[in-house]
Amino acid sequence: MKRLAENTEVRVGDDRLHVLIILDDFSRYIVGYALADAPTSAVATRTLQAAIARHGKPEALRTDRGGAFVAFTKETDFGRYLERELIDHSVGRAYSPRGGGKVEAANGTLKRELWEVEHFADRLEAEKKLAAFFADYNERRAHMGLDGLTPADRYFGRADQVLAAVDAISRKRQGALWRLAPAGAPTEETGAGTPLEVLRLVIMDGVMELRFCGTRVVLGRVTT
């Protein structure tokens, strides 16, 4: 079991704050986060401890090169905690998909879809919106990298159940189309084992959309 962690800077009013995300590498499920005044070793330690209490201890943790994680590593609260818990710590290069690319992507989504579109009256409001955002991210956001599943589907082992439900819905819709087709019109059956389209990326009139099980999500305008 491997976790990824990264801090990113955000603004609430005139204040500069930092969001720490701890993410499960296999499922992209966010197991812990914090909104703090500064990206310190103490904040990283408390957040990781809380994540372990809820979701278990990882064998390894990969972070960026932020001071909260690597400055005098063995001498900080964070470094001592990892050593005591026998958690292997590795440091990745920025923007490397083999490093912490997944948690960097999560932070990018957070900024793009929350901080760039919302105005927070104060820190308390920011914390409430942040909690709601991560709940939605974990439970309702489908990822192309997860075969159209949500992080919670993958993390809690619901993948087979969800995909079976999607398959049943797709077949039900196909059956409805057959019943509505004019008599004598050709039909194309979908037999057992035949691939079903679950996720589609569409560009129409310069706008990119993601379509999943009948749901349309506008990703943005495509520029050339």
Q: What is the CATH number of the domain that holds 131?
A: 3.30.420.10
List of residues 6+ apart from 67 with CB closer than 8 A: 39, 41
Give the chain's domain count: 1
pLDDT at 141: 86
Query: Residue 158 and residue 80: Cα distance in Å, rounded?
Result: 36
pLDDT digits (tens, 9 = 90+) for 129-179: 999 999 999 998 887 788 778 899 889 887 677 666 665 655 565 555 555
pLDDT digits (tens, 9 = 90+) for 43-65: 999 999 999 999 999 999 999 88
Is 56 a member of any domain? yes
Query: Residue 22 and residue 222: Cα distance in Å, rounded?
Result: 31
Is 101 a member of any domain? yes
Query: Residue 1 and residue 98: Cα distance in Å, rounded?
Result: 16
Is 120 a member of any domain? yes
From residue 212, alpha-carbon distances to 100, 156, 159, 209 in Å are: 27, 21, 15, 10
Is 222 a member of any domain? no
What token pair was written down for 195?
């691939």
Rounded mean pLDDT, 16-38: 96
Range of the domain at 125: 2-156
Q: Which residues of 72-90 are buried (b: 16+ CB within 10 A; e: fewer)?
A: eeeebebbebbeeeebebe
Query: Residue 117 and residue 110: Cα distance in Å, rounded?
Result: 10
Is 48 a member of any domain? yes
Is 162 a member of any domain? no
Q: How confident is the model at residue 123 (pLDDT cuts 50, 70, 90)?
A: very high
**Is-contact 6 20, C-beta < 8 A?**
yes
pLDDT at 65: 85
- Higher-scoring residue by pLDDT: 192, 132: 132
On the question of pLDDT at 126 being above 60, the answer is yes
pTM for the model stands at 0.71
Question: If you average pLDDT over every residue of the chain, what do you get?
Answer: 80
- Give just the sign of the alpha carbon dihedral 118, 121, 125, 130: positive
pLDDT digits (tens, 9 = 90+) for 80-117: 899 999 999 998 765 454 556 899 999 999 999 999 99
Instruction: Identify each DSSP E strand in the chain by its residue range.
Output: 2-12, 15-24, 30-36, 60-63, 88-91, 199-204, 207-212, 215-221
Is 170 a member of any domain? no
**Is-contact 160 149, C-beta < 8 A?**
no
